[in-house]
Amino acid sequence: MEKHTQYGINIIIIIIIITTTTTIIIIIIISSSSSSSSSILKLEINQEAARAN
């Protein structure tokens, strides 16, 4: 039982790391790209955030 919860915690940590790194990458892309393409990316981020929650 303890091993199972530890495994679950590890998955949560990995998911948090992946989401934070992808968010940082997306923010960099938005800040370096034009406003028209960044609005499309923002929509995709909102969809990903909604799925994560």
- Over residues 1-53, the pLDDT tens digits come to 567 778 888 999 999 999 999 999 988 887 776 555 556 667 777 777 788 77
The confidence score (pLDDT) of residue 2 equals: 67
Evaluate if pTM is beyond 0.75: no
**At 14, phi and psi to the nearest 5?**
-60, -45
Long-range CB contacts for residues 15-18, cutoff 8 Å, separation at least 24: 15/52
The confidence score (pLDDT) of residue 40 equals: 67
The confidence score (pLDDT) of residue 16 equals: 96
